[in-house]
């Protein structure tokens, strides 16, 4: 769950950094900072939109499987 939280936060932060630069900060559109934030947003979108939520579901599934099958191994 912690990894999913960090991935979702990182994706959101990179997306907001791009919006901040596009609003005119650090040279605005076309600057080197803007090019870097585009790369960060490209990496961050899958984190925010897919990897974070799917990792959270996987961790919940693992916990449920452990609770259900735990008594069989004790």
The whole-number pLDDT of residue 17 equals 95
The whole-number pLDDT of residue 28 equals 92
- What DSSP letter does each residue of 2-65 carry, written as one string? HHHHHHHHHHHHHHHHHHHHHTTGGG-TTSHHHHHHHHHHHHHHHIIIIIHHHHHHHHHHHHHH
The whole-number pLDDT of residue 47 equals 84
Longest dimension (CA), the chain: 62
pLDDT averaged per 10 residues, the chain (length 74): 83 94 93 95 88 83 95 90
The whole-number pLDDT of residue 8 equals 85
């Amino acid at each position: 769950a912690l990894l999913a939280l960090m991935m979702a936060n990182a994706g959101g932060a990179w997306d907001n950094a791009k919006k901040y630069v596009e609003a005119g900060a650090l040279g605005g559109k076309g600057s080197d900072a803007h090019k870097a934030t585009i790369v960060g947003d490209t990496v961050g979108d899958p984190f925010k939109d897919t990897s974070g939520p799917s990792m959270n579901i996987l961790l919940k599934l693992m916990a449920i499987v452990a609770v259900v099958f735990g008594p069989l191994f004790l």
